[in-house]
């Protein structure tokens, strides 16, 4: 896995990425000592109208997701002033 959104306490948005038909990628939260409650990241798909719609959420209870759909996506990480965390992508 490689860093997609750098580890920090601030909210941040990853760059758009595109998956071709039949392709997949794994997204996961990353942190120095596990992921506490309150650390979340939204997975969004870009519509034909160039707007984003939430299609999933990474959290303590669901820290990883395999995305298997064609489209353009991004991940938006929330802030947590007490715990730096990031998002990884393979």
Dihedral sign (CA 55, 86, 72, 51): positive
CATH topology of domain 2-89: Jelly Rolls (2.60.120)
Task: Provide the β-strand partners of residue 77.
Answer: 12, 41
* 39-69 residue pLDDT tens: 999 999 999 999 999 999 999 999 999 999 9
pLDDT of residue 34: 80
Per DSSP, 52 falls in state E
Count Cβ atoms below 10 Å from residue 21 Cβ, excluding itself: 7
Per DSSP, 34 falls in state B
What are the structural domain ranges in the chain?
2-89
CA distances from 77 to 14, 44, 55 (A): 8, 11, 14
Where residue 37 falls among pLDDT bands split at 50, 70, 90?
confident
What's the whole-model pTM score? 0.92
């Amino acid at each position: 896995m490689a860093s997609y959104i750098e580890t920090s306490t601030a909210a941040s948005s990853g760059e758009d990425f595109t998956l071709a038909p039949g392709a997949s990628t794994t997204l996961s939260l990353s942190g120095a000592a596990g992921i506490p409650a309150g650390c979340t990241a939204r997975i969004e798909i870009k519509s034909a109208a160039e707007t984003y719609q939430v299609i999933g959420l990474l959290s303590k209870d669901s820290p990883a997701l395999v995305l298997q759909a064609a489209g353009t996506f991004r991940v938006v990480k929330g802030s947590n002033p007490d715990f730096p965390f990031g998002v990884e992508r393979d």
